[in-house]
Amino acid sequence: MKKDPMNNSRIKKKLHSDYEFLEGISRGLSHDVLSLITPIDTYFSYIKNYPDKAKELEEISANNIKLLSQIISDARIFTISNKLIKSPSHLKDIADYAIRSLASLTTKRKIKFKMEVDSEITLLVNFILIQRLLTNVLKNCIESNATEIIICSEIIFTKKNKVCNIKIIDNGDGIEKSNLSKIFQQGYSTKKSSGLGFTIVKKIIDLHNGTIDVSSKVKEGTKIIISLPIN
């Protein structure tokens, strides 16, 4: 039986593409991990000389360790296959959980959340991944200096199925038009980070056969629409 050279070429191209993607993810994660581990070692040395600063430095170290745990959790997302464990989940519960997980950031910045999510909307999703998706998006809104974030939902009927649109609107700095097409690119960041935040968001949406649309105006804010099918 003859082998199809075109098929072999496609396989090699796919493997090369996957390798480059994972290599980029690895570089990004390594950057974030090292940026968190290095200060921890320094803090412990500093505590010996300045015991009066011990409590403050211990809190910073504990927070860095928490962030390291989150990075490891994020890395696992890229190894998940399309066969997710899904269960019926209330969208409002997921959104509430995501907001609570960001309490340390929102309290300091006095951010106002306006929730307009129908408590009856139930999605067949992986609760943890969708919560992580919303957390990443909301964190990005917070880091754009937003003071108000609106989360709302609507049900749309298409020719093929029923879709839930999750809209997240903020009044932050906004995104330059020339940068909008780059935000889902692996490694793209304007904040000296790994640039995996929206890469993770896109991966989770793809795993749920959904879509995401981002529109923004500088100094006015950003509007994000996440569409997930209702099965």
pLDDT number for residue 41: 63
Contacts of 211 (CB under 8 A, 6+ apart): 205, 226, 227
Instruction: Give tens-digit pLDDT for 190-213.
Output: 665 555 678 888 888 998 999 999
Instruction: Give tens-digit pLDDT for 37-91.
Output: 655 666 666 667 777 777 776 776 676 676 666 666 666 666 666 677 889 999 9
User: What's the token pair of residue 196?
Assistant: 């995996």
pLDDT number for residue 95: 94
pLDDT number for residue 136: 86
Average pLDDT over residues 102-110: 79
Q: What is the pTM of this model?
A: 0.69
> What whole-number percentage of the chain has pLDDT above 90?
35
Average predicted confidence (pLDDT) for the chain:
79
Q: Output Rg (C-alpha) for the chain, integer angstroms.
A: 20
Matching residue, tokens 């108000």: 148
Cα separation of 98 and 91, whole Å?
11
The three-state secondary structure class of 126 is coil
Instruction: Give tens-digit pLDDT for 137-160.
Output: 998 899 899 999 999 999 998 777
Q: Which has the higher per-residue pLDDT, 24 or 97?
A: 97
